Chain A
Amino acid sequence: SSREHKLNFKKSKEVCLSYIQDAMLRKQWKRAAEFLTSYIESLEKDFSREYMGPSEIIWRMGTEILCHHSHSSMKEFNSFIEQMKTLGVKRYLKVCLEHTFHLLCNGLVDEAYENLSLAESWRFGEQTAIQDKEMKLIQAYRGLLDYYSWSKQKNILLQHGQDGFEDLSVEQEMHSCFRKAAVNLKEIIKIPGVWDLFVKCYVDLLEFYGDHNEARQVLNEYAYNSKFPANPNAHVYLYQFLKRHGESKKSLISALKILHDIVPSHELMIDFNMMLQKSKKRKKRRLGLEVIFAALDYAGWKENVKAWSCLARQVKQIVISEKHLDWIKQEWNSRKDWWPTFHFSRYLAKRNWQENESLSYEKALVAGILLGKDCKYFKYISHQGCKAQMKRFRILKKFVNKHNPVYLRISG
């Protein structure tokens, strides 16, 4: 009968859990809270060796309910979490970390900092791999908060500096914040991961104290270490850093070239194209054409006026100079079977004309050169433009008609 009792207990536990779950999924927080108070009894005989035991379930569900319950306060929330911390040793760090997040999201930065320091000093036997990671995160977040107080004090100092008097204690505090922040942030960004936030802060610290080499090294490591995921932001940060420090065009281009290789649809590709178009080297201008064509392959760029004008400008240049028509031809070859329906359909002509006239102008120019003067898109737009008595459309028509043989050479 004790076996039966156990079975019944287990069963009612499960039923109770499903009630809580159902209530939560229907946003009936009060009801869920009532059920949860009954479910707490399941802690008494927690022999389960399941993946997720009742104590974790109570922590997770309780946190969620307290977040949404109309009658809960931060005080109640804190006392609940404090109890949860004592429930499971293995979960202590995780609960601490989550608690910190809650405090931060509620604007309680000081409490969060306190909480993190407390968690950092916690020791219990040997740490598992997961706990190790959690500990590193706790330290990193503490470093982040140190960084924020550093930047606060920096702002105060800068302001005071403008006002003309110095404050030594603030400055000292600021430096100590820097040290604490730098140590912790430096640690976390060594481990493979996505650390945009920490890297940015760390680089900011280093730059402020003039340690550009270290900053560059950190950014290079973050962008190029193969153990890290291919994070386009890493390349963006590097590019921005290089740009800030007035690095040569060459190094900027090489940074963007890598970004282009991993994310051809990145917004920076417009800057990249403009940079390349201005270049005197043929090879770079060629790359520029490639970059802008590749960007316009993506659905997200379909209505990007800037990108279309970049392409229109470069194509126009090439057509006028009548040099390097083979560049266009080569780019066009792999696109001619689908760009006409993707970019230059009659439907899009109508819509672009209605919604964005300048977009339709740039696209019509490209269409007229790539597909000839009989292409649907060009015909529709130039017709509409001429009908509306717009000068630039008339010029456009003339230009395309004049350079129609180019189309034959490209498509041939």
Chain B
Amino acid sequence: TLFPSYFGAGPPREEGGPAPAAGWGELGQVLEAGPGRCQAQTTFVPRRGGTGESWEPADAAAVPLLPPNASCWVPSLAPQDILYRGILRRKLRAGRYGAALDFTKQLSHFFVDHPEDAFGSLGQLLHKNFYLGNSKLRHPHVPWRGLRGRSCSLPQPDTSCPPRSGCSRHHVASRLRWFSHLCRDWLFEVPLGLLADCLHEELLLQWANLLFDDSPTGGALAWLPPKNTGACMGCVVYPGGQAMNHLYFQDVVLEELPRARGSPAQFELNGRIRQVAAARVDAEDFVGVRSDYHCGVWRVPGRTGAAPAPLQVIRTGTPASCLTVSPHLPGELAVCTQSGTVYLWSVETGLQQLRHDPQTMFFRDHSPWRWSDFTAHPRVLSCADRTGLQCLDARAPERCHFDLFKVGEEAGCQQGERVVLPLYLGRAHPSQHLVTTQFSVYVLDERLPLVPVLKWAHMMKAPPLFAHLTPGGPGRSHKVLLGTSRTQELLLLQYRGERRGSGRGSRSACQLAGPPQKLHSIAGCLQHLPAQLPHRHRLLQQRLSAPAAGLAAVLQEDGPRESLLVFQLSEAGDVFCQRLTHEAVQPPAPTSGDEAAAAPGSSPLFDPAAALRYRRWLRALPKGCGEPPQHSWPPTLSQKRLFTRKELEVPASPSALHEEARQRLRQAMREGGRIQHWDPPATQIPALPQPEEPAGDLDALSTRLTAAWAGDWGQWWEERSSFNMAQRQRALRERRRRQKRARGQRSLSASFTSSLTYQSELSELSDAAPLPLSPACPAVLPQEGSPPAGSPPASPPPDEALLSSQSLRCRGIPKERRKTLRDYLSVWAEGPPEPPEPPGSQASQLCIPSSQSQLSSASQTRRKRPRMGF
């Protein structure tokens, strides 16, 4: 006898969405209980709300089962990483579009992080004509100099976004736009349109994944029960490693607190493990492992202590979305790919394609997700997509099939409801299946397709991607665990129904037993941990609240005491476990939950063993976990992010520390070595290291440079300027006039020799007056250049000041090399990594052209930056 229900066909009529309390309070329907019709009083049982078994959590939180996954875990993408956060955000949010993805930011990130990929080869080709530094240059023949600036600033105007605060080249936006208009066809390594398309596609994909990621469906954690009944050692199968591409088979002893025994058997795979499925056939465990493009099957022999053996691997062209292991026949699996293909995979006979249909079954849905599981008949497989389930006979898949579940009025679904995870409940009853959607769970019977024998709104905040069945014995309820990924929710349901192998007469309809129960999530243990430093607390929080990736459970019978051990895997690769103990006799006061309710943040409620386990786990947790690794910074960094404006200012006077730093750097560069130690200056400022003075005659430039290095350039200037100034000025002016006249007559081609002209000019100038300055300057210059009395020493530490692009730029080191230099300098603080390329030759070679241009434009720049070294 089944509970009464209406039956309608067609699309779901009920509107609605996730309702907060939809699963409470309803008994659904009632049915007379028991066969005793002749009794004086008929008794009734409800479909929902019957009494269930009492399972109480033994601990206050989940306890780590294994040491933390040692490898550094990269936190997964967060919405704020790709969402647009500008002025327009509110407007966009108010509009129809739910989320605005920050496309321009991502594109510019790409240009900054991968400049070589973005415009590597053309950048090199154009090197001669395009100055790639970002100092301000003016030259009639190379009008785009300086605009190239940060490569990232180029594409921003391309995407025609309004100039906003994020754009560092605000003031040159129009020219940039002009420039990009000219060069967008040829400058980029990958055509910009194509690149943008790809990026956009990827962004949408990432966003969709953030909203709902179905790749871990089914869960990547499996429990292989003990080989002999009564033994207490099982095996937990889980992924680990930095990329979650190592498969571990870890023996676990079930004690009060389950513990790992021995070291795990380990297999390295070449893809992130998405799903681990296991089934036991004829006392042998078969473990199926799914990654995106590969599926593999392992066999764990029945003997205790036997090593798991890989059997076969298949490769798929499109990502696989499902892998289930047959509970009936050894070495049989069901595989689905996102192209809509379903295979029956037998280790002996290979793959058999059962269906290939990129379209969904009952109505159109865009999701390529497919699932397949086994049914009561070993040759009949269930196939699922988001719209429902069908059963196909593998012997004649085209002809023999029937609909098992349809998102529609038949099952009383809501509009917008979609299948999330089907699960074959064969261990509880051979013909029953569980289907979860984002709103409800259904129990279906193959014998009565389309009409769920049980339905309940689970009220979980995210769709349940993981489910696990623990069948109950005669007279007991079956336990179903549901788990979500992102929110780590874990729910225990109990239902009663026909039992496997029960004779006629003792049949009863499926009914939900007892209220659902929430179990501890991994993140929930944080409040019970000892207080941590804020920074570590944050890391720990991040680590513990990583999305869940799998779920497993085992019923442990220890004499009269029964307990249910629930294992949970997180995306970071940590396995936690919790114990629920069964209270066979209902306690007189069934509100035991109330007493156990502890205020958050209260003292730990663990027994010493669990506390010890926690301490060990915390100790083993790598210190840097969760932090972005230091060395993985993208090679080019915006200086805006590295230094504040204040820090970038060249100090009023170079301090003694600066001097020393310069000196050592210079020396190191000359020798091609590196600076090993950086000793802070002694209490007494040592005598300035004398720059190496070339013996014999010093030319004027050398003297000036030496003076500049020594820091008393001002004095030098004073000396020089007092000498015959008026006369020299006159001579200079005369010469320039002559030159101008000569240049005007020359043809355009003469511009190619301009550099030559400068060269001669330089030599001429150097032995005469140093620079053609306006008369006002000399008076100002020495004052600014000399250290003001009593001013505090320069604030930025020497290395930073040395590293700042501005000071490097002042030395005329082009942008590309500046980075090398910066890298070079940053190494000595951290000990010796690989030997840096000898910078000496580069520096000297590069200094020449830039110093030329520097000098040529000196008359303009000098006024603005009077304190430059040269």
Q: Which residues of A contact B (CB under 8 A)?
A: 17, 21-31, 51-52, 56-57, 59-64, 67-70, 98, 101-102, 104-105, 107, 109, 129, 133, 137, 140, 148, 151-152, 155, 188, 191-198, 200, 227-233, 262-263, 265-267, 297-300, 303-304, 334, 338, 341-342, 345, 347-348
Contacts and interface: CB of A to CB of B under 8 A. Distances in A.
Contacts of B42: 109, 148
B6 A133 contact: yes
A299 B37 CA distance: 33
11 contacts: A25-B515, A29-B594, A51-B16, A51-B17, A52-B21, A64-B25, A192-B8, A194-B4, A265-B431, A299-B378, A345-B282
Contact of B591 (A69, A133, A194): A69
A348 B283 CA distance: 10
A56 B26 CA distance: 11
Contact of B27 (A30, A52, A105, A191): A105
Contacts of A104: 30, 44
A102 B19 contact: no
B331 to A, nearest CB: 9
Contacts of A24: 24, 515
B198 interface: no
Contacts of A51: 15-17, 19
Contacts of A229: 7, 410, 448-451
Given A61-B21, A299-B328, A300-B430, A197 B6 contact: no
B40 interface: yes
Interface in B172-208: none
A25 B376 contact: no
Given A68-B515, A338-B378, A29 B330 contact: no
Contacts of B450: 229-230
Contacts of B41: 107, 109
Nearest to B331: A341
B868 to A, nearest CB: 56
A68 B590 contact: yes
Nearest to B49: A67
Contacts of A342: 328-329, 378
A27 B376 CA distance: 36
Contacts of B430: 265, 298-300
Given A98-B25, A98-B27, A299 B376 contact: yes
A193 B24 contact: no
B1 A192 contact: no
Nearest to A264: B377
Contact of B25 (A63, A198, A348): A63
A6 B430 CA distance: 53
B21 A266 contact: no
A109 B39 CA distance: 14
B379 A297 contact: yes
Nearest to B29: A101
A196 B2 contact: yes
Contacts of B538: none
B635 interface: no
B459 interface: yes
Contacts of A152: 40
Contact of A194 (B5, B28, B376): B5
State which size class the interface on B falls in: 35 or more
A155 B376 contact: no
Contacts of B282: 345, 347-348
B44 A105 contact: yes
A60 B26 contact: yes
Chain B binding surface, main DSSP class? loop
Contacts, number: 193
B310 to A, nearest CB: 21
Interface string B9-48: 1000101110111101111111110000110111111100
A27 B515 contact: yes
Nearest to B349: A337
B21 A60 contact: yes
Contacts of B38: 155
B770 interface: no
Interface string B449-469: 111000000010000000000
A302 to B, nearest CB: 9
A347 B283 contact: yes
B300 interface: no
B61 to A, nearest CB: 13
A31 B32 CA distance: 34
Interface in B452-504: 459, 491, 500-501, 504
Interface string B586-603: 000111111011000000
A137 B594 CA distance: 38
B27 A231 contact: no
Nearest to B50: A105
- Residue from the set A51, A102, A266 with the largest chain B CB neighbour count within 10 Å: A51
Contacts of A197: 1, 3-4, 31-32
Contacts of B16: 51-52
B494 to A, nearest CB: 13
A64 to B, nearest CB: 4
A98 B4 contact: no
A98 to B, nearest CB: 6
Given A101-B46, A151-B37, A21 B593 contact: no
B296 to A, nearest CB: 21
A107 B32 CA distance: 11
- Residue from the set A22, A26, A297 with the largest chain B CB neighbour count within 10 Å: A26
Given A60-B25, A101-B27, A196-B4, A52 B20 contact: yes
